Structure 1
Amino acid sequence: MSGPLSGQRALITGSSHGVGRAAAFLFAQQGAEVILHGNQNMADADAAVQEIGPRALGAVQADLMMPGAGRELYTRAADLAGGRIDIVVNNAGIHWETPIDATDETWEANWAGLLQVNVMAVADICRTALPDMIDNGGGSFINIASRAGYRGEDKDHMAYAASKGAVLSLTKTIARQWGDKGVYAYALAPGWINTRMAPQNAAGIAAAANEIPIGRMAEPEEIAAMCAFLASGACASATGSCIDINGASYVR
């Protein structure tokens, strides 16, 4: 199969469902070989591998809440890919509510968990992948951040907003420091996406849609399409940039 991603091998985290799953399918359709990742939903990740077919090299289980899991995930994925991964989509993340009036124990545990999954695991994956990408002549990171990383978030999700701000800075630093090695880094800043992380009740869905000028949440396939475009290398000069995909709900 030929396509804009032919000959590329991609690791997509959090790909048992939602944006990651949509990206895995689209990347494969565009010619890439993909490695999926799941944790508690490994049955779904394995099912996606079977549905994608030969262009899915396998799925790796990793609990990114555990220190070091990002490094282990990348290493196992690289083994499946024969030692070369050209594209990493850091999509896995959590969106826990942490009110300021929570107990100290809950506050500290939630902040630690959010930073571990949303920042440290991403940083560990990037750190582990960088030497391989440099040795192989380059590669691309596409990190899923959030509009919250720029505008902030509601009072119960300060930790989430802080974590996504860190992802933005991480992405820009990688782009600035390793661009001369052929390593490119991009961030996406979605608003609400129609996945299980979005509101699920009628009132919540209506409230989310009401704040979005186009009147609806983004679909996973829209985020996947931008990931595929950036991964194609069609606009490498966009490295270091953050692409807003939020229906004009936050315009910078």
Structure 2
Amino acid sequence: MTSPIDLSGKTILLTGASKGIGAATAAILGASGAYLVAHYGSDRAGAEAATAAIPEERKLLLGADLADLDAVEAMWAAALAWRGRIDVLVNNAAIMPFDGGFDAPLADFDRAWADALAINVMAPARMMRAAVNHFLESGGGSIVTISSWAAQRGVTNPATIAYGASKAAVKSATQSIARAYAKDNIQAYVVAPGVVRTRLSEQFAATQGGEEKISATLATGEWVTPDELGRLVAFLASGATPQLSGSTLDVNGASYVR
């Protein structure tokens, strides 16, 4: 894999690098010359596969349970210690509970919300806190948050309402960082994909009558590829357009236009 974007010398911390968007992004960031800290939850083999083409000296694989905030802090510390600096944080890891609808038992409803908020909001919030404080000391840096079009338009399946709400929360937090720290050379971007060819989206499609039904609602009739999102993340990580900071970049093939 080759990339037209040059990230040589940049150290990038990417969460959720073992599957889907994260795996594609890991490969593209590596092909762009970045030093990559690739986080994974339990799937180390997935992270190893995603980063297989990256030279050993340019990658560090770190496992951490994002539901454990102590583990989140330890991961940041280990990532920072590797090269003494982090230039870009990519908040990608997320879960989508499918059992948190209003008609679900209360225990399931509460658990879906607790899990989504823990992994999709609190873990990224801790990472962003650490990143902002580091960037203030080091002269700047960038944050890229993978949100979702669900943050703007809500979810189709109310059983995933906690997921949509969590993506709205992390979107708002990222935008607040962009506004508050623009003068400190800290950029923050939100990427809001539509239907992406990932395991989570395939599971979601199954709850809505299948892939053909979902594809029929899309303007292009096609799902977003993880590679396209990876290329966008690499572009944002390059720092080529700092005045884009604070923006939400919709990637849905014109299916949801604001």
Into which bin does the TM-score normalised by the smaller protein fall? over 0.9
User: 1:147 — aligned with what?
Assistant: 149
- Whole-Å separation in 2 of the counterparts to 1:5 and 1:166: 29
The answer to whether the 8 A contact 2:11-2:86 is kept is yes
Alignment gaps of 5+ in structure 1: none
Q: Post-superposition shift, 1:134?
A: 1.6
User: 2:65 — aligned with what?
Assistant: 63
- TM score, norm. by length of structure 1: 0.94
Residue deviations 1:139-159 (CA, integer Å, cap 9, x gap): 100000000000111222211
Corresponding position: 1:208 with 2:214: yes
- Whole-Å separation in 2 of the counterparts to 1:159 and 1:102: 13
The answer to whether the 8 A contact 1:68-1:124 is kept is no
Aligned amino acid, residue 91 of structure 1: N
- Whole-Å separation in 2 of the counterparts to 1:139 and 1:14: 20
Structure-to-structure mapping, 1:79-118, within 5 angstroms: 79-80=81-82, 82-97=83-98, 98-118=100-120
- Whole-Å separation in 2 of the counterparts to 1:47 and 1:145: 24
Q: Post-superposition shift, 1:55?
A: 5.4
- What is the aligned counterpart of 1:228 among 229, 234, 239? 234
The answer to whether the 8 A contact 1:28-1:55 is kept is no
User: 2:48 — aligned with what?
Assistant: 46
**Secondary structure of 1:78's aligned partner:** helix
User: 1:218 — aligned with what?
Assistant: 224
- TM score, norm. by length of structure 2: 0.92
Q: Post-superposition shift, 1:72?
A: 2.2
The answer to whether the 8 A contact 1:12-1:35 is kept is yes
- What is the aligned counterpart of 1:186 among 179, 189, 197? 189
Alignment gaps of 5+ in structure 2: none
- What is the aligned counterpart of 2:21 among 8, 19, 22? 19
The answer to whether the 8 A contact 1:208-1:217 is kept is no
Aligned amino acid, residue 75 of structure 2: L
- Whole-Å separation in 1 of the counterparts to 2:245 and 2:113: 29
Count of equivalent residues: 251
Corresponding position: 1:240 with 2:246: yes
Q: Post-superposition shift, 1:67?
A: 3.0
- Whole-Å separation in 2 of the counterparts to 1:165 and 1:108: 18
Q: Post-superposition shift, 1:65?
A: 1.7
User: 2:163 — aligned with what?
Assistant: 160
After superposition, the CA RMSD in angstroms is: 1.8
Aligned amino acid, residue 221 of structure 1: D
- Whole-Å separation in 2 of the counterparts to 1:209 and 1:167: 27
The 10-residue stretch of structure 1 (197-206 or 209-218) with the greater mean CA deviation from structure 2:
197-206
